Structure 1
Amino acid sequence: MTAAGVEVLGVRVPREQARTVWEEWRGRHGETGWWPYVTLSSPTDMTEGRRELGCDADVLEKWVGEAVCQDHDARAASILVSACRWAVEEVANVDDDVDLWRSDYDPDRLAPLLAPAVERPLQGVSQWATGTRDFFEMDLRWVNFVATRGGYEVPVLLPFVYTTWGWAGYGDRGLTPLDTSALLRRWHEQWGAELFFADGSYLELVVDRPPLDPQGAAQAAAELRAYCHDTVDDAVKTGDTMARSTMWSLWWD
């Protein structure tokens, strides 16, 4: 139990079975009310070891209420605009082509630069939940459970479930749990994206209906870049690859 009263349950499973276990319990979410996510952190790690990174019950209740009621599409659009402004005003050099910078965040400018529509989603592969990259080579994973309406609320209930280390967002403002919740909920409703793996500065989403056409892929790529430019440093490449795949893997440096 976290200091704010959020209960976290968990079971340890072999790495190669983590996706299967997650899929089974995702399918039972409507019955159980518990959302599963794969991680390296035990429930004890999440509730005691990171307790100081949490928030009190009153703040959490306020956040959850706002997450339910907020216009997540409008908030996602605001994040995109703010990220574009930050890039053009703070990052672009004097000699840079500002229009090229803007195209990274403007789906209408980005779409013509992408490859034609594909017939079926690209098969995404997990790098961390079931993969062996870097320190993820350990044999076991935790599948943790949180009682919530959907995976998009997990970062609000557990603000420390993963972090966007090393990136202040734009200007001196970082993204809040409500920003993250808005983006995850939008991606869930638009493309069937579901919270799958979360740990440290790493996040993976399983995407059931990724966009296959240039316009949809451009929208996804622009929003992914606004959220995590550490991973999405090339919006065109992302629009042709990850945005059209069944797995979105993000990390913050």
Structure 2
Amino acid sequence: MSQDVPTPPHPDPQAAAQAMRVRMMAALRYEKVTVPGANALAEWEKLRAAKRGWPVVIGGDADLERIADQFSFDDPTVSGTSVKTVAPRSADRLLAAAAKVQFPADLYKVAETSPPKDGEALPATGPAPSGEAPPGLTAAEDVQTGRPLEKVHILILPTDKSWEVPAYLHWGGWNACPDPELHVAALRSWHERFGAELVGINGDTMNVRVRNRPKDRRQAWQLAHELHAYCPDIVDQGLGSMAAFASELMRSDWWFFWWD
């Protein structure tokens, strides 16, 4: 007489998703410091001075989860699948790829805009400042109200070079956002020329602080084209004109980028 074989229980989708989330957060093994949003920049300065690695402000819990998701999306030990469709990314692999990038020439090869032509006449200066303070460390703020978040996470990455942050976080390569190696090459070039340092990064935005603003209108005009090629929405959905953007670059120590 045959016996019925019991049907295995259906997996619980919520339990499976929660288990994957636990693995995802555990994979992001970098040291983490948590502070009130109002204290984020001061704490970042303190951590930077300590020279235990490069600190980067991530934002709140949801922002940290998005960073962890991007960090491990191609890791089969996190997703639970045994099928490898691509080789998992690593910081070393991405940094090696970044070292081969010719910046900004390679940026313009993939961008929808072109650099300004040699000898091109400079446009009239942009509109007078509105009186509003340019964006600063927005990664520590509520996107709707602009108020400091109640709680902000800062990751400390095993490098002393801020431009390497996208490689250590595997950040980029989705939608219109450049690949991690292009981020690294861009940030390295801007550090060499303008003292740019990556201070904040979350799921889709980046806060960069510069120590040396463009020294004149021509340099600001060239830089505005580079940054627009890198992140078109900063002009197309933001300041509205390249002249206004160039003017902003000459009066602000902070650059803000976002990608849809």
Q: Alignment length, in residue pairs?
A: 215
Picking from 112, 120, 138, the partner of 2:122 is 112
Q: How far apart are residue 149 of structure 1 and its match?
A: 3.6
CA shift in 2, pair 1:47/1:113, >3 Å: closer
Q: How does 1:164-243 map to 2 (within 5 A)?
A: 166-167=175-176, 175-233=178-236, 234-242=241-249
Counterpart AA for 1:25: L
Query: C-alpha deviations, 1:91-115, integer Å up to 9, x for none?
Result: xxxxxxxxxxx5xx31646771153
Query: C-alpha deviations, 1:164-213, integer Å up to 9, x for none?
Result: 7542xxxxxx6221111100111111101111111111111011111131
Query: C-alpha deviations, 1:11-48, integer Å up to 9, x for none?
Result: 1111111111112222333xx2x100111256973785
CA shift in 2, pair 1:49/1:77, >3 Å: closer
Q: Secondary structure at the match of 1:197?
A: strand
CA shift in 2, pair 1:109/1:24, >3 Å: farther
**CA separation in 2, counterparts of 1:222 and 1:189?**
18
Alignment pair present for 1:152 and 2:200: no
Alignment check: 8 A CA contact 1:76 1:179 kept: no
Counterpart AA for 2:55: P
Alignment check: 8 A CA contact 2:67 2:202 kept: no
**CA separation in 2, counterparts of 1:141 and 1:249?**
18
**CA separation in 1, counterparts of 2:104 and 2:69?**
31
Alignment check: 8 A CA contact 1:37 1:197 kept: yes
Q: How does 1:1-253 map to 2 (within 5 A)?
A: 7-29=29-51, 32=52, 34-40=53-59, 45=65, 49-50=69-70, 52-54=72-74, 59-67=90-98, 69-70=99-100, 74-83=102-111, 86-87=112-113, 102=114, 105-106=115-116, 108=118, 112-115=122-125, 124-126=134-136, 128-134=138-144, 137=147, 138-160=149-171, 163=172, 166-167=175-176, 175-233=178-236, 234-242=241-249, 244-253=251-260
Counterpart AA for 2:167: V
**CA separation in 2, counterparts of 1:47 and 1:252?**
14
The equivalent of 1:93 in structure 2 is: none
Q: Greater relative contact order (Cα 8 A, min sep 6): structure 1 or 2?
A: 1
Structure 2 segments unaligned to the other structure (5+ residues): 1-22, 76-86, 127-131
Counterpart AA for 1:252: W
**CA separation in 2, counterparts of 1:164 and 1:61?**
17
Normalising to structure 1: TM-score of the pair?
A: 0.71
Counterpart AA for 1:152: W
Alignment check: 8 A CA contact 2:24 2:69 kept: no
Normalising to structure 2: TM-score of the pair?
A: 0.69
Structure 1 segments unaligned to the other structure (5+ residues): 88-101, 117-121, 168-173
**CA separation in 2, counterparts of 1:143 and 1:128?**
13
Structure 1 window deviating more from structure 2 (56-65 vs 39-48): it is: 39-48
Q: Secondary structure at the match of 1:129?
A: helix
Q: How far apart are residue 236 of structure 1 and its match?
A: 1.5
Which structure's CA Rg is the greater one?
2
Counterpart AA for 2:164: E
Alignment check: 8 A CA contact 1:114 1:240 kept: no
Q: Percent identity?
A: 25
**CA separation in 2, counterparts of 1:11 and 1:245?**
28
Counterpart AA for 2:54: W
